[in-house]
Amino acid sequence: MVVEVVTGEHADRIFHALADATRRDIVARVIRHAESVSALARHYPMSFAAVQKHVAVLERASLVTKERRGREQIVHADMTVLRRAARLLDAYEEIWRERVARIDQLIAED
């Protein structure tokens, strides 16, 4: 079974996007349920335009998609991309666990 992870520039865009607390909160909200950009803007002490810019960063990273419904743009989480990013972090965790196990083994040999 091939496990896909994000790599290269795409990984850079994802983790840059997630480095901001507001964007992480937006992702968490739209994972629970899709919201319009205007509804999202009501949650933050910033302008509608600022929230639109945050959503655009998330969209460039493929973490969210927008769907036009009438005059509104509905923001949805892209769970496939989020899962691929999580797999990359899981791979790093596995590397770390292997290193710790190796250190434990070396200590036990002494």
For 12-32, write each residue's pLDDT tens digit: 999 999 999 999 999 999 999
Angle at 51 between CA 35 and CA 9, to 5 degrees: 95
pLDDT beyond 70 at 62: yes
Residue 12 domain flag:
yes
Which residues have CB under 8 Å from 74's CB, separation 6+?
A: 34, 35, 36, 66, 67, 68
Residue 31 domain flag:
yes
Q: What is the number of domains present in the chain?
A: 1
Over the stretch 33-44, which tens digit does the pLDDT of each residue have?
999 999 999 999
Residue 93 domain flag:
yes
Domain holding 32, by residue range, is 8-109
Beta strands across the sheet bearing 64-69: 35-36, 72-77, 64-69
* CATH number of the domain residue 22 falls in: 1.10.10.10
Residue 3 domain flag:
no
Residue 79 domain flag:
yes
Question: Which of the four pLDDT bands, split at 50, 70 and 90, describes residue 79?
Answer: very high
In this predicted structure, what is the pLDDT of residue 30? 98
Residue 2 domain flag:
no
